[in-house]
Structure 1
């Protein structure tokens, strides 16, 4: 099952970048010693020195949580809009206040409410100290953010009765095939555990958070909702370490899709990580 949906990778907005190899493996000039380890353990690589990690301001965790809570409607609207949801920001605010907004499909309303519930859940988990970077937390968040869209929500591909999934249409760049496309996904658990071990070795929490987003997004651990779940996990890592949560603005969806294609097709996460840091909140 291909992801993302209406505004995702594979839309005709993408224009192929000249001169970039489409091998779905890291380019040879990217594979320095550190990048070779990244590619082996995570399936992609990046140039850490090219990303301005220090632009993310460090603060007390309660302040990061308070800022996140104050921006909750914006986080929900951006995430919904990136999925092609037609709700406007004022309509999202109205819905979050418990007032039904007319003129929308039930599916769109349920998606917004699911995004709101998962965002609040993340806030509460960080606040009470139960957030962890592990499969149990990821599954719990996924089960809340994508119950109406993903097959067997809250479970990796291959853990239930359904097999397959993990393919992403990249338009002119071809198709990305994640682990488990042919064997049903039985290896995904081991792949995830191996990735977590490497991620835990990254000392900078901002870099670790961005790497987790790329990891969950590229490997397509779930049938749907991978970017939404990976973004929640990324923000859990950020806030737990005293940094602002990051929302991908709907206004920058074309840039986002272009950098996603580089991640999928070239296994190079550097441009996407640069983009993520550039989306940090002001102040």
Structure 2
């Protein structure tokens, strides 16, 4: 894995997987090295890294319809003003930074703002918020992927983030010791 993160190619890993890993490396490098202010522009930049060379457009809100595999929910086509309002609501006062980051992550996943890389963008964006304060890290352990995907599918359908946030706090949030 270290070879891949350094930009070297591995024979046993597909080119598509190597691109995903390299793009994630670049997105993480961006948030760690620049500690960006959190806003829609930052989310677009994260998607620009995460989805680079994977779709026709990256780093820009999608302009057409998409479907989410395995569910009947179809997210509306995003528009800049409504996304800005939603981000303000999600990040509003009165909730903990962790709750806001998790809710933001789920909002980004369900909204499918981009043509590709929405879940990866959402996780990196939520971690950018948390790492900026040095308290937590969101990581879905491999042994929890099936449950994560089941709960995410339920969330796509009903739009209620509470069950998933509670579950993620138990299984996917790692405290960072300063």
User: Equivalences for 1:145-184 in 2 at 5 Å?
Assistant: 145-158=50-63, 163-165=64-66, 167-170=67-70, 174-180=71-77
**Counterpart position of 1:123:** 32
Secondary structure of the residue aligned to 2:68 is strand
Q: Distance in 2 between matches of 1:192 and 1:198?
A: 10
**Counterpart position of 1:202:** 93
Secondary structure of the residue aligned to 1:245 is strand
Q: Deviations over 1:145-166 (max 9, x none)?
A: 11122331010012xxxx322x
- Whether 1:264 aligns to 2:165 is no
* TM-score, normalisation: structure 1: 0.58
CA contact (8 A) 1:212 1:234 kept: yes
**Counterpart position of 2:23:** 114
Q: Distance in 2 between matches of 1:112 and 1:139?
A: 18
**Counterpart position of 1:48:** none
**Counterpart position of 2:135:** 243
CA contact (8 A) 1:143 1:154 kept: yes
The structure where helix makes up a greater share of residues is 2
Q: Distance in 2 between matches of 1:246 and 1:191?
A: 26
CA contact (8 A) 2:38 2:129 kept: yes
Per-residue deviation, 1:252: 1.1
5+ long unaligned stretches in structure 2: none
Decide whether aligned partners of structure 1 residues 208 and 94 sit closer, same or farther in structure 2, where only a CA change above 3 A counts: same
Which entry has the higher C-alpha Rg, 1 or 2? 1
Q: Distance in 1 between matches of 2:12 and 2:132?
A: 38
Q: Distance in 1 between matches of 2:159 and 2:107?
A: 10
Q: Distance in 2 between matches of 1:148 and 1:275?
A: 33
CA contact (8 A) 1:111 1:148 kept: no
Secondary structure of the residue aligned to 1:273 is helix
Q: Deviations over 1:109-158 (max 9, x none)?
A: 111111111111111122xxxx1221111111111111122331010012
Per-residue deviation, 1:193: 1.0
Per-residue deviation, 1:235: 0.5
Aligned length: 174
5+ long unaligned stretches in structure 1: 1-91
Q: Distance in 2 between matches of 1:101 and 1:176?
A: 38
Counterpart pick for 2:118 among 200, 217, 226? 226
Decide whether aligned partners of structure 1 residues 176 and 112 sit closer, same or farther in structure 2, where only a CA change above 3 A counts: same
* TM-score, normalisation: structure 2: 0.89
